[in-house]
Amino acid sequence: MRNLIYIAFALFAFGCKASLYSPTVQPNYYKVADKAEANEAGPQVQRMVETIAPYKAQLDSKMNRVLATVKLPLKKGSPESNLGNWSADLLAEAAAANYPDREIAFATMNQGGIRVSEIGTGPLIVSEIYELMPFDNTLVLMDLTGKELTEFVSHIANSGGWPVSENLSVVKTDKGLNIRIGGKAVDDKSTYTVVLPDYVAGGGSGSAMLKEKARIDSGLLIRDLLVEYAGKITQPIDVKVEGKRMRLN
């Protein structure tokens, strides 16, 4: 995909009078890999290739920029995974940096928000973050009471587990869920700041309990924040799952 451009031309024929039915569109597709192929496709395609070439070069330069190095493959999974842990930790770090006056209880994102199953070893480039998070979801902060937080975290656990940052620990026991923030039991009367995508804050992924609650929408795209904070990593990314965040079995 990085080196191929697919250009579709839809040719419509219009008569002098309005048609009494919807015209049938028959697009012609040209696969353009290099100048030679474009020439074979015809002068129209070649002119378009030449027109978009500078913009493609700029886009390639941006999307192929190396952010960090992945030492151990980052794989998606539930109830906990190293790709989920890594993404949620970056989100928590970004929130803390942008809202230094706030104490972040934990950050989370729904499993469906992560759109790749694995990021392999080697250079981590910008386009891989775009594949990981292709949506324009923004970072949201919500202040929840301990009781509200417990309800939300219970939903996360009952959904099979979501990516959560390291400050949250959820362990399923015979008596129910043992939920801890920073190693401490949740206090129903205390208030906790949770970081999450605007989609979830608006009730997405079954999070109806959050839909009507007040929120702070940063306006910052989560994808851009992941790119920014992945670019700050100086050591090879080596994330292991220790089962401390979501132990639901």
Q: CATH number for the domain including 193?
A: 3.90.780.10
Q: Could you tell me the mean pLDDT of each successive run of 10 residues in the chain, 249 residues long?
A: 38 41 53 56 74 75 94 97 98 98 98 96 98 96 98 97 98 96 96 98 97 97 98 96 93
Q: Which pLDDT value is given to residue 53?
A: 75
Q: Which pLDDT value is given to residue 151?
A: 98
- Full-model pTM: 0.79
Domain span at 196: 74-247
Asked whether residue 68 is domain-assigned, the answer is no
> Same structural domain for residues 35 and 157?
no
Total domains in the chain come to 2
Asked whether residue 69 is domain-assigned, the answer is no
> Same structural domain for residues 53 and 107?
no
Asked whether residue 185 is domain-assigned, the answer is yes
104-107 vs 191-197, strand pairing mode? parallel
> Same structural domain for residues 117 and 144?
yes
Among 17, 39, 63, the domain-final residue is 63
> Same structural domain for residues 136 and 205?
yes
> Same structural domain for residues 105 and 160?
yes
Q: Which pLDDT value is given to residue 146?
A: 98
Among 31, 63, 95, the domain-final residue is 63
Q: Which pLDDT value is given to residue 39?
A: 57
Asked whether residue 18 is domain-assigned, the answer is yes
> Same structural domain for residues 104 and 210?
yes
Asked whether residue 83 is domain-assigned, the answer is yes
> Same structural domain for residues 121 and 192?
yes
Asked whether residue 138 is domain-assigned, the answer is yes
Among 44, 63, 82, the domain-final residue is 63
> Same structural domain for residues 207 and 95?
yes
Q: Which pLDDT value is given to residue 12?
A: 36
Q: Which pLDDT value is given to residue 2?
A: 40
> Same structural domain for residues 85 and 121?
yes
> Same structural domain for residues 47 and 99?
no
> Same structural domain for residues 36 and 84?
no
> Same structural domain for residues 204 and 165?
yes
